[in-house]
């Protein structure tokens, strides 16, 4: 569909609820000029630090950057990282429904980089307590009918513990529900509108394939088994393919130069969800998502695509 171009006004009127695992991405930038005398490791002299909202929060950031109305429901700790996340959400005009847990810290990923090369990543995380998870379900039930589409962003940190019930609630409310899946067991995602696995995730869930026909068989078989409206497989340098009951639609990659693929999956599902919330078809949504992903992979770290950048990419 070379002539399809989404409009900002329809995006601005669309409302998306994002629920799932959030994290604070910390970046420490420094120079390395020597090896430590204590161990054979580089010594980084840190000169700059940066905080970014990651995980489900990055999905929400992408929706806001494209002009959509978005709310974020997640669990965070009673800590400084949660305060930083809340401030970032305010800056990005994201409605905040963060459940504060006294028993589990905010998931934190600390990356140390030198000359745009990652030296090490340190993860701090703990599964949320049951009380916080119950609060998520209660708040979700209150919110779901107020939005045009729901995105469930699963990073395997535990917030989507009752994902089947969340899918059912969205379906009862007549809302499309899109899921970025995690792990090998996709049965819990049955009945969703759309799943967006990458190639590695699909292989883990459905088994390997030897050729395009094998990939199609695996994807369509999984879609039918789970009762999905569609399955979108992101294929890195091969673009992405949308599988539906009436066949499949493929989009080649739009990236001119791949700099960093981290967060690209967040951009894809954000653009898909916002497009569906705005009333566009699944193929139109994929066209939009493919262009947005091509923008963010040319940026460092968890990045977003603005509506202006999307317009330029689609018009290029």
Q: Which residues are catalytic?
A: 266
Confirm if 73 and 139 have CB atoms less than 8 A apart: yes
Contacts of 25 (CB under 8 A, 6+ apart): 51, 52, 53, 54, 58, 109, 111, 301, 302
Our measurement of the distance from residue 275's CA atom to the centroid of its chain's CA atoms, rounded to an integer in Å, reads: 15
Which parts of 207-304 fold into alpha helices (H)?
A: 212-226, 264-277, 282-296
How far apart, in whole angstroms, are the C-alpha atoms of residue 182 and residue 188? 11
Where are the extended beta strands (E) located within 82-213? 95-101, 108-114, 117-124, 149-153, 177-180, 194-195
Output phi, psi for 148, to 5 deg. Answer: -85, -20
How far apart, in whole angstroms, are the C-alpha atoms of residue 199 and residue 264? 13
Confirm if 56 and 22 have CB atoms less than 8 A apart: yes
Neighbouring C-alpha atoms within 13 Å toward the C-beta of 216:
10
How far apart, in whole angstroms, are the C-alpha atoms of residue 169 and residue 196? 20
How far apart, in whole angstroms, are the C-alpha atoms of residue 135 and residue 54? 21
- Angle between helix 130-143 and helix 163-172 axes, rounded to 10 deg: 10
């Amino acid at each position: 569909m070379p002539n399809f171009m989404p409009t900002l006004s329809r995006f601005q009127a669309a409302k998306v609820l994002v629920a799932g695992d959030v994290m604070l991405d910390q970046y420490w930038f420094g120079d390395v000029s020597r090896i430590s005398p204590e161990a054979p490791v580089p010594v980084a002299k840190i000169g700059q630090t940066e905080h970014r909202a990651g995980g489900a929060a990055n999905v929400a950031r992408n929706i806001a950057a494209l002009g959509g109305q978005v709310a974020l429901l997640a669990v965070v700790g009673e800590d400084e990282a949660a305060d930083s996340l809340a401030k970032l959400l305010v800056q990005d005009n994201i409605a905040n429904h963060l459940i504060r847990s006294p028993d589990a810290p905010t998931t934190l990923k600390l990356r140390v980089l030198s000359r745009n090369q990652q030296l090490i990543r340190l993860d701090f995380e703990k599964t949320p307590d049951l009380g916080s998870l119950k609060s998520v379900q209660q708040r979700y039930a209150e919110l779901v009918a107020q939005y045009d589409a729901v995105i469930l962003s699963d990073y395997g940190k535990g917030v989507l513990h009752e994902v089947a019930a969340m899918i059912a609630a969205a379906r009862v409310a007549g809302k499309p529900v899109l899921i970025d899946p995690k792990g090998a067991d996709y049965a819990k995602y049955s009945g969703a509108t759309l799943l967006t696995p990458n190639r590695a995730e699909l292989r883990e869930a459905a088994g390997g394939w030897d050729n395009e026909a094998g990939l199609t068989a695996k994807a369509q078989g999984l879609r039918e088994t789970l009762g999905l409206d569609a399955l979108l497989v992101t294929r890195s340098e091969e673009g992405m393919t949308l599988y539906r009951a009436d066949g499949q639609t493929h989009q080649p990659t739009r990236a001119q130069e791949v700099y960093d693929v981290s967060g690209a999956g967040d951009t894809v599902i954000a653009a898909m969800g916002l497009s569906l919330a705005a009333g566009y078809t699944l193929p139109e949504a994929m066209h939009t998502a493919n262009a947005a992903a091509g923008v963010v992979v040319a940026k460092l770290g968890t990045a977003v695509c603005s509506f202006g950048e999307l317009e330029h990419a689609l018009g290029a």
